Amino acid sequence: MKDMTGAYRLAEIDRVVADPNRHRRWADCDLVLMALMTVLCLIGLVMVLSASSVQSLRQYGSPWHYFERQALWLFFGAVAFVIAVRIDYHRWRRMAVPAVVITMGLMAAVLMSSVSVAGGGSARWLGVGSWRMQPSELAKLALVLFAADVLDRRADRIREWRYSMMPVLLAFAGMAFLVMAQPDMGTTMILACILMTSLYVAGVPLRPLATLLVLGGAVALLAAKAAPYRWRRMTAFWHPFSDAANTGYQSAQGVVALGSGRLFGLGLGATRAATGYLPNQYTDFIYAIIGEETGLLGSLLIVGLFVALAVVGIRVACRAPDRFGGVLAAGITAWLVGQAVINIGAVVGLVPVTGVPLPFVSFGGSSLIIAMGALGICCNVAKQSLRDSSPRSGARRSAGLHNEAPIEPVRRGRRPGDRVGAGQAAGRTPRRAPERVGAARSGRRPDPAALRVSGRASGVTSGRASGVNAGRR
């Protein structure tokens, strides 16, 4: 079976998730995305207050410190979201290469101990005091923009994977090297998720993608084995209670907190894990506090919101006006949903603990602001898809064929390559001789002898008419 290009991959996904009423139900994908983001942010604001109040009271003498900081970051994130929604997403192409260069420069600066801020055994932040930024969060957005720009520009040779993939692979390799030097295994996994999704949606053949996936897994395994502490942390999630006092402590406490909530939870503010038992309870492990206080129902609500975000994001990517918009929306969706899967999987014990926050929910300024700005770009793609949408052209839009020249209708009596006169260009059909019109309607070619007789008759008639007119004068 032949491999599909990116346009037809998007068209196939659109066909699978589509239904007869899709144009009415999914007409306002940007509003649906904004609603999902708003609900997640409000849940996160409440849960940050509940999970951090005890620690905030111990450190700062007030239970509102982390809540006020999160509310401030949420305001800045809302501003970034509104700006991104109003800017045409095509303008971000100009920022693709500068964003990669600036981001890699900032991540290189993080490795310099004189200007970086360390925490939790790694150096990931730049800033002074409590005002910090995490350049690795900016690297996710930079990679999405750069991959969408390069893969769109080289779409005509997308099957030549060395030509189409090489710039994106080099950018990813540089970012992954700098992120792993911090070290930060979780962000590297998210960057890899963005890379693979962008390449697949753009239409890169499956064989080089499979090869890249195998090589990437081998490199990740070697990187984990190279550092003993990282290997112990990577394998602790298999049996966290076997070493619950050391490497499996955080995983074990997260599972205990989830199990304590049962079906309906202990109630908001009634957490016991956040009183000092569970580390990072308002950042990386906030999902455990959600499960403890709201139970299985609250946990499933968070999962359902991210599933809805994935479905709507895929819809936006499938119905994007062009390939750049489709790859851009798919990359952002893979970034946010993949990060949520890694975070929730680490809490429930399905994947190793990697230290990535839950998008829109966990405490943190850099993650929240950049994620909201990225979702604003995705909403702009959805808005422009809505402008160009119509039920008749839905299949061509979902396949990413919008920038092709419109198909010229072929009129009777003219081949597609013939020149078009002014009257025909304006939509008027030229008048033809009755014999030709009759022949065209009947589907047979006119007789040449009949045409000659008709021409002679018309010449005689015109001569007689001119003679009569001369006699009258």
pLDDT in tens, 233-251: 777 778 888 878 788 888 8
Please indicate, yes or no, if residue 260 is contained in any of the structural domains: yes
Domain that holds residue 298: 26-389
What is the rounded distance in angstroms from the CA atom of residue 332 to the CA atom of residue 81?
Answer: 14
Is the CB of residue 151 less than 8 Å from the CB of residue 327? yes
In a domain, 31, yes or no: yes
Q: What is the pLDDT of residue 54?
A: 92
Q: In sequence order, which residues have a C-beta less than 8 Å from that of residue 424 and are 6 or more positions away?
A: 411, 414, 430
Give domain status of residue 427, yes or no. no
| Domain-embedded: residue 463 | no
Domain count, the chain: 1
**pLDDT at res. 258:** 92
Cβ atoms of 233 and 349 closer than 8 Å: no
* Of 422 and 143, the one with more pLDDT: 143
DSSP 265: -
Query: Per the domain annotation, does 252 fall within a domain?
Result: yes
Q: What is the pLDDT of residue 467?
A: 46
* Residue 394 confidence (pLDDT) above 80: no
Asked whether residue 146 is domain-assigned, the answer is: yes
pLDDT in tens, 443-456: 444 554 444 444 44
On whether residue 397 sits in a domain, the answer given is no
Strand order of the β-sheet with 131-133 is 116-119, 122-128, 131-133
Please indicate, yes or no, if residue 39 is contained in any of the structural domains. yes
395 pLDDT exceeds 50?
no
Averaged pLDDT score across all residues of the chain: 79
Do 370 and 137 touch, CB atoms closer than 8 A?
yes
